Structure 1
Amino acid sequence: MNPRRKKRLGIVLAILIGLGTTTGLILYALSQNMDLFYTPTELVNGKDGKKPEVGQRLRIGGMVTVGSVKRDPNSLKVSFLLHDVGPSVTVVYEGILPDLFREGQGIVAQGVLVDATTVEAFEVLAKHDEEYMPPEIAEAMEKNHAPLTYTPEQKQGSDQ
């Protein structure tokens, strides 16, 4: 093999090894940052026949059980129960909760599974009503979009 071919082969091999290494590092980073979403029932009973492992990062969403919010008077630590149609799960969070957080409200918590029914959250997001609209937008819509009304002539024309 002449020196020119050896040089080309070396360059091609270096490129392939570089691409392989880059792909491997990207896949590793993605697997480390992947958080699966669970409901409290799926967390306790398993999702698709598989339960999450202790120490696994995850997201859990449900409704805050009324009367379950307990605040530590000496710190920002809060614990509360999260439920859906089945069993409840305890969520422990240390920090300032969102303004929309309250009992009976839907939330999504991101954290680590401590035991079978306890999640230590590092982020809590409060969900608002799907029909919520900021007052400014509601006012602009009322002003600019009059309700649709038909005259008798228009109704007859649409029937044909």
Structure 2
Amino acid sequence: MTRKKRRLYFVILGLLAIGTAAALVLSALRQDIVFFFSPSEIMEAKVPTEGRRIRLGGLVEQGSVVKQGALVHFKVTDGAHSLPVVFEGLLPDLFREGQGVVTEGRMGDGVFMASEVLAKHDENYMPKEVAESLKKSGHWQGEQPK
């Protein structure tokens, strides 16, 4: 076997090993690639939430925000289902009822325990998944999301 053939075999084996490692990493992270889940997906148990840190996205339900000092209780809805959320800390300035929100945290006893709350950044922005969910439930009142 010549040096060129041996070098070619090592290069091919190296590329094969890198490709296999990349495929394994991507398959392991497949469910974590989703930006957020809707309340319907979580309530219908389409998402394994046990012991996992997930993101919940939707609209803050009208009349659901209750502040008790630094503790805030509110509901996130996609029009079909609502999920109660508890957050301790400072809310973003854009946070208010009827606006889009993405929360990050864990499920516990039917309540989403949020560790972070992100409010939408623009009057015309709505996540595509939330808009589709609102259309399916018949609560959509706007243009196609951008």
Q: In structure 2, list runs of 5 or more residues that go unmatched.
A: 126-146
Summarize the Cα distance change of 1:82–1:7 in structure 2 as closer, same or farther, 3 Å threshold: closer
Query: Which has the greater radius of gyration?
Result: 1
Mapped partners of 2:109, 2:41: distance in 1: 11
Alpha-carbon offset, residue 70 of structure 1: 2.9
User: How well do the aligned residues superpose, as a CA RMSD in angstroms?
Assistant: 3.1
Q: Report the counterpart of residue 31 of structure 1 in structure 2.
A: 30
Summarize the Cα distance change of 1:68–1:97 in structure 2 as closer, same or farther, 3 Å threshold: closer
Mapped partners of 1:32, 1:45: distance in 2: 17
Asked if the contact 1:105–1:126 (Cα under 8 Å) also holds between the matched residues in 2, the reply is no
Q: TM-score, normalised to structure 2's length?
A: 0.61
1:19 pairs with 2:19: yes
Q: Report the counterpart of residue 45 of structure 1 in structure 2.
A: 44
Alpha-carbon offset, residue 97 of structure 1: 0.6
Asked if the contact 2:65–2:75 (Cα under 8 Å) also holds between the matched residues in 1, the reply is yes
Q: TM-score, normalised to structure 1's length?
A: 0.57
Mapped partners of 2:14, 2:22: distance in 1: 12
Q: Which amino acid aligns with 1:70?
A: K
Alignment of 1:8-157 (within 5 A): 8-25=8-25, 27=26, 30-31=29-30, 33-46=32-45, 50-56=46-52, 57-71=54-68, 73=69, 76-102=70-96, 104-115=97-108, 117-127=110-120, 129-130=123-124
Summarize the Cα distance change of 1:40–1:29 in structure 2 as closer, same or farther, 3 Å threshold: closer
Mapped partners of 1:101, 1:33: distance in 2: 25
Q: Report the counterpart of residue 142 of structure 1 in structure 2.
A: none
Summarize the Cα distance change of 1:53–1:120 in structure 2 as closer, same or farther, 3 Å threshold: same
Summarize the Cα distance change of 1:29–1:43 in structure 2 as closer, same or farther, 3 Å threshold: closer
Identity between Structure 1 and Structure 2 (%)? 30
Mapped partners of 1:98, 1:81: distance in 2: 16
Asked if the contact 2:94–2:119 (Cα under 8 Å) also holds between the matched residues in 1, the reply is yes
Asked if the contact 1:40–1:62 (Cα under 8 Å) also holds between the matched residues in 2, the reply is no
Q: Report the counterpart of residue 135 of structure 1 in structure 2.
A: none
Q: Which amino acid aligns with 2:38?
A: T
Summarize the Cα distance change of 1:7–1:91 in structure 2 as closer, same or farther, 3 Å threshold: same
